[in-house]
């Protein structure tokens, strides 16, 4: 009997082990084949180094390509210490790139080659060529290079970044810390990320390990297609911390077509200052939830001004693209060519409206007006501020347009005004969705403000306008 039990136990034990082995084999079979992806695509990836004159070299923010060789590598791998400054061209940056055409066009980041006196491309076979800069776009951090070649070069296949979904496997090939042809893998973490320093790019966020030297390298999907260019990381140490950002392929192709044609990128422009609609602002504008881009300022003579937009309008759609966050608006307007029209949907006083707007051309720079302080006057109100009518004298001092109406903050008397961030010289134009053009109107609106409810206020400061929200408890 004991022998029979032993036989049964052995049989079922072997059966269980076989089942576990089969399950592990199936699980292993479902993992992506990064070896095949690397073998097929690495020949089209290049290493990029630059030489720059001492005058053109400058410090860069932490991010891919922003460091050369870290001190730890100098100490433990015998890398010579940096030489003293000289008049000769010096190594400026190390980065990556990839070949997009058989005749030698190469894509990389603008910050990899910015300020370069000479751009050196090292191919997969270790040969080096001097590259010509065809065009660059600082706003999207893209650069298009060209090398001379007598033979057809290996190229990458561009994918459709609009089909990318969070959770997909992706891989990067590049030269982190100048370790050439390194592959790292991860997943897509999020889409359409807007970053403060790059408001015109809907970045793909991933957790792929990206480090200095990966800049300009390709981000692949598991079909071996390039869905983005690795551009930035979020870091407090200078190295990878789990957040990396890639320029999506659809945006790249749109920009590259212009770089190849004219060496620069032209973007559409609406001519508005915008801000995010948070929960309190949504309540003050009677919205069901935070959404859209709140117009806080209209550029005089710009496309929005000509289309009769008003401060307080909340833009929720451009053509058929939803604007869920304010960061989406510059991206959607930017890809519209100047002179083309777009249907802009917005909410004004609780009602949805649509205006056809002819996009302008995004200027290179926007001027700023220095702060000027007007004289103080006396006024009492629930906000605890001193204010005066915005007359021609104040308009001249603050360099404001004649059609701007409101009251000038000339002093702060209690904690309310201080707590909500008001300053001397601020011009208040709207309170609680009501226009304020005089002290008389200001006092009436402020006197009728509700308690314990979010209240919005439009303020112009140094010729830039924005909305603030607050609550009154008394």
Cα distance from N-terminal residue to C-terminal residue, the chain: 88
Contact by Cβ (8 Å): 215, 65: yes
Q: Which residues pair with 388 in a beta bridge?
A: 408
User: Which is catalytic among the residues 161, 215, 244, 284?
Assistant: 215
124 labelled catalytic? no
**Rounded to an integer, what distance in angstroms lies between the CA atom of residue 206 and that of residue 198?**
17
215 labelled catalytic? yes
Q: Determine the 3-state secondary structure of 93 from DSSP.
A: strand
User: Which is catalytic among the residues 93, 111, 244, 456?
Assistant: 111
Q: Determine the 3-state secondary structure of 340 from DSSP.
A: coil
Q: Which residues pair with 188 in a beta bridge?
A: 206
For every residue of 10-37, DSSP letters joined together read HHHHHHHHHHHHHHHHHHHHHS--HHHH
User: Which is catalytic among the residues 49, 137, 141, 328?
Assistant: 141
Chain centroid to CA 83: how far? 36
Separation in Å, CA 352 to CA 56, 254, 270, 349: 51, 31, 19, 8
111 labelled catalytic? yes
Contact by Cβ (8 Å): 174, 230: yes
Q: Which two tokens stand for residue 48?
A: 């990029």
User: Which of 330, 320, 322 is closest to 289 using CA atoms?
Assistant: 322
Quick count: other Cβ atoms within 10 Å of Cβ 390? Answer: 24
**Rounded to an integer, what distance in angstroms lies between the CA atom of residue 234 and that of residue 63?**
7
Q: What are the residue numbers of the active site?
A: 111, 141, 215
């Amino acid at each position: 009997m004991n022998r029979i039990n032993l036989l049964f136990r052995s049989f079922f034990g072997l059966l269980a082990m076989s089942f576990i082995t089969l399950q592990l084999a199936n699980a292993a079979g479902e993992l992506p084949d990064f070896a095949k992806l690397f073998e097929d695509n690495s020949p089209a990836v290049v290493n990029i180094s630059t030489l720059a004159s001492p005058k053109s070299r400058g410090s860069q923010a932490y991010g891919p390509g922003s460091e050369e060789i870290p001190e730890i590598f100098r100490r433990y791998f015998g890398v010579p210490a940096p030489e003293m400054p000289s008049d000769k061209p010096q190594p400026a940056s190390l980065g990556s790139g990839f070949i997009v055409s058989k005749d030698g066009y190469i894509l990389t980041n603008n910050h990899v080659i910015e300020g370069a006196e000479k751009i050196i491309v090292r191919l997969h076979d270790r040969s080096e060529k001097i590259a010509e800069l065809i065009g660059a776009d600082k706003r999207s951090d893209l650069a298009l290079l060209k090398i001379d070649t007598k033979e057809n070069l290996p190229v990458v296949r561009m994918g459709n970044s609009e089909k990318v979904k969070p959770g997909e496997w992706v891989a990067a090939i590049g030269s982190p810390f100048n370790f050439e042809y390194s592959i790292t893998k991860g997943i897509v973490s999020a889409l359409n990320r807007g970053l403060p320093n790059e408001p015109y790019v809907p970045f793909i966020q991933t957790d792929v390990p990206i480090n200095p030297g990966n800049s300009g390298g390709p981000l692949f999907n598991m079909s071996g297609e390039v869905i983005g260019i690795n551009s930035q990381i979020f870091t407090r140490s200078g190295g990878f911390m789990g957040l990396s950002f890639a320029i999506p392929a659809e945006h790249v192709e749109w920009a590259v077509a212009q770089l190849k044609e004219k060496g620069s990128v032209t973007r559409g422009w609406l001519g508005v200052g915008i801000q995010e609609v948070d929960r309190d602002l949504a309540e003050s504008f009677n919205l069901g939830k935070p959404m859209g881009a709140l117009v806080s300022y209209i550029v005089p003579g710009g496309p929005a001004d000509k289309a009769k937009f008003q401060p307080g309008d909340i833009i929720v759609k451009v053509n058929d693209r939803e604007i869920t966050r304010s960061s989406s608006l510059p991206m959607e307007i930017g890809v519209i060519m100047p002179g083309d029209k777009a249907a802009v949907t917005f909410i004004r006083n609780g009602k949805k409206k649509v205006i056809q707007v002819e996009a302008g051309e995004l200027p290179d720079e926007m001027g700023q007006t220095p702060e000027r302080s007007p004289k103080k006057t006396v006024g009492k109100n629930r906000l605890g501020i001193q204010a005066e009518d915005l007359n021609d004298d104040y308009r001249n001092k603050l360099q404001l347009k004649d059609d701007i109406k409101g009251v000038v903050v000339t002093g702060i008397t209690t904690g309310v005004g201080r707590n909500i961030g008001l300053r001397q010289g601020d011009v208040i134009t709207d309170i609680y969705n009501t226009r304020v053009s005089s002290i008389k109107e200001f006092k009436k609106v402020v006197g009728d403000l509700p308690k314990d409810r979010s209240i919005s206020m439009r303020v112009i400061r140094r010729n830039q306008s924005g909305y603030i929200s607050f609550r009154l408890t008394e």
